[in-house]
Amino acid sequence: MAAMKKYFRNIDKVLCQRTPNEIKTIALLLTALISIVDYLVGYEISTSLFFLIPIALATWYGTYRQGVFFAFLSSIVWYTIDAAFTPHFYSHPLIPFWNTGVRLGLFVIATQFLTLLKTQSNAEKNLSRTDGLTGLMNGRGFAEAAEKMFELASRHGRPTTIAYIDLDDFKLVNDRHGHSEGDKVLQTV
């Protein structure tokens, strides 16, 4: 289980570094690959669930609009393969349209849920890196920002400077005037 988490963390790290156009290209290639597999296995075995992979990539690493685009694209591709390339008989001629609409609805709902989850995840991530009192970075946020700055400085062969402020005798403010006054001093500084 730990190896699987590490594997997905590494994939996430790689995908986070990709541009929006690279993400669209990856999602497009995956859609094409899944379409080919769908065509090859025939209509008896459903592969529509696998279309959620490029939709999820486009939504999570791109935007909601990209996710919806791939939801429509995947539904149209599935319908085209089902109706044009692997013709078979349904009890009613509208069933392929119904199936396409149901898949599209599922894909759009998945896109909406992923967008909501991404928004909440980013909010939690920001909260975990920010001090609630001052709104500044906490230790975790500072360590991550410093790591990025050191990597950037190393890559470009430039020095990095860190400055900090030390409040002399700050403990006396808390001891004499209480923590609420100390909090006001911190917020002011």
- Non-local CB neighbours of 99 within 8 Å, separated by 6+ positions: 79, 82
- Helices (H) and strands (E) counted in the chain, each on its own, are 8, 0
**Which residues lie across from 31 on neighbouring strands?**
none
pLDDT score, position 67: 96
Predicted TM-score (pTM) of the model is: 0.75
Q: For the segment 53-73, what is each residue's pLDDT rounded down to a tens digit?
A: 999 999 999 999 999 999 999
Give the largest CA-CA distance in the chain.
Answer: 85
* Number of other CB atoms surrounding residue 64 within 10 Å: 17
Q: For the segment 8-19, what is each residue's pLDDT rounded down to a tens digit?
A: 888 988 898 899
